[in-house]
A = this chain, B = another copy of it.
Amino acid sequence: MKNHRTTIHDIARELKIDSSTVSRALNNNSKVTAKTKAKVIAKAKELGYQRNLLASNLRQSKSNTIGVVVPRISRYFFSTVIAGIEESAFKTGFNVVICQSQESLEKEQAIIKNLISNRVDGVIISIAMETQNGEHLKQLKNNGIPLVFFDRFCPEVQESSQVLIDDQQAAYDAVNHLISQGCSKIVHFSGPQTLEIYKNRLRGYKLALLENNLPFKEELVINSPLMEANGYEETQKLLDAKIDFDGIFSANDIAAIGALKHLKEKGKRIPEDIAVIGFSNEPSSKVIEPPLSTIDQSAFEIGKNAYDLLIDNIKRGEKEVLHKTITLKSTLLARGSSLRKK
């Protein structure tokens, strides 16, 4: 009997009124007397009533919930974006379900399917490394569910909104910074070229070289999944191959930290022998010695903006969805790993 959840019908029966009145009372509808409301609310508390959101959402065909999909929550950038989203959501009474794709397309597809089936009102996503086409994302549009990308977006999905930073510019700034510190042979650790962010960071890298009349060398660009082990091993390979370089621009901090560790083990002086700069401003970057220069993406702001964009489109209904791209500013944080001059 423990399992019997009290419903509005239970309350109605005890109070000898109709369940519709109970429903209206609980929703503070003006068609119900204050006296009746009080009675209903008292009884509801007495019976430990908890609204069945499944039923409520089914009836209203909305869930008051948005889905957030990120590659992995253990990345500080992503968890900070989520914190930004949640702060706004909490204020406006929306619920947030957090999902991680683990960089896997298969999981991402399963997640999207599940979100649709659960009738979320909108989705905010940063796609997985494996994701190359957006078929599963188009499903969202087919179901009239607004979608907002942040950071890693999918250009194939037409008419979408996104919150980004200017990756090319940020990369350009990063590489320019290394050059200003005297680097001329700069390695670039990049990610899958299927993702726009990595393409753009590579473009920024090239542009900075070009503008400084430095040669672009194919062998200095290294693609990998950018895990710490990748940074470590690729650095090892570079050293083993006796490739001449004096700077590393890594498309994320994690790989940069891997590189740093290997360089230190090999007795390289940082930044004197090799200057290093990462991307994303992970907490570890402040902590490592020397502290890692990086790009701060104002993750919390990205979250808030993405949420606002999404809510705006949810409110609009599917009448006239607005498709905009918000570009937030990023900040170069020059720290010990690249600052050669006082």
Chain A positions within 8 Å of B, measured between CB atoms, are: 2-3, 5, 48, 50-55, 57-58, 63, 72-74, 76, 79-80, 82-83, 86, 90, 95, 97-100, 102, 107, 110, 113-114, 116-119, 139, 142-144, 257, 261, 283-284, 287-289, 317-318
Instruction: Please give the distance in Å from A78's CB to the nearest CB on chain B.
Output: 9
Q: Which of B5, B74, B119 contacts A52 (CB 8 A)?
A: B119
Selected A-B contacts with CB under 8 Å, 13 pairs: A3-B318, A48-B139, A50-B117, A51-B117, A52-B117, A54-B54, A54-B58, A54-B119, A55-B58, A72-B79, A73-B79, A95-B114, A261-B287
A50 to B144, CA, bound (A): 13
- Could you tell me if A50 and B116 are in contact, using CB atoms closer than 8 angstroms? yes
By a CB distance below 8 angstroms, the chain B residues around A86 are 100
- Could you tell me if B117 and A53 are in contact, using CB atoms closer than 8 angstroms? yes
Q: Which of B90, B98, B144 contacts A2 (CB 8 A)?
A: B144
By a CB distance below 8 angstroms, the chain B residues around A79 are 72-74, 79
A114 to B64, CA, bound (A): 11
Residue of chain B at shortest CB distance from A54 = B58
- Could you tell me if B83 and A74 are in contact, using CB atoms closer than 8 angstroms? yes
Q: Which of B5, B53, B98, B117 contacts A97 (CB 8 A)?
A: B98
- Given known contacts A97-B97, A144-B3, A54 and B57 CB-to-CB distance under 8 angstroms: yes
A95 to B48, CA, bound (A): 26
Residue of chain B at shortest CB distance from A228 = B283
By a CB distance below 8 angstroms, the chain B residues around A82 are 73
Q: Which of B2, B53, B116, B317 contacts A118 (CB 8 A)?
A: B53
- Could you tell me if A107 and B90 are in contact, using CB atoms closer than 8 angstroms? yes
Q: Which of B83, B116, B288 contacts A289 (CB 8 A)?
A: B288
- Could you tell me if A98 and B95 are in contact, using CB atoms closer than 8 angstroms? no
A86 to B74, CA, bound (A): 13
- 10 closest pairs, A vs B, by CB? A289-B289, A74-B79, A53-B117, A54-B58, A98-B98, A3-B144, A287-B288, A284-B287, A73-B73, A284-B284
By a CB distance below 8 angstroms, the chain B residues around A139 are 48, 50
A102 to B86, CA, bound (A): 10
A76 to B5, CA, bound (A): 37
Of A82, A90, A261, A284, most B-chain CB atoms within 10 Å: A284
Instruction: Please give the distance in Å from A122's CB to the nearest CB on chain B.
Output: 14
- Could you tell me if A113 and B74 are in contact, using CB atoms closer than 8 angstroms? no
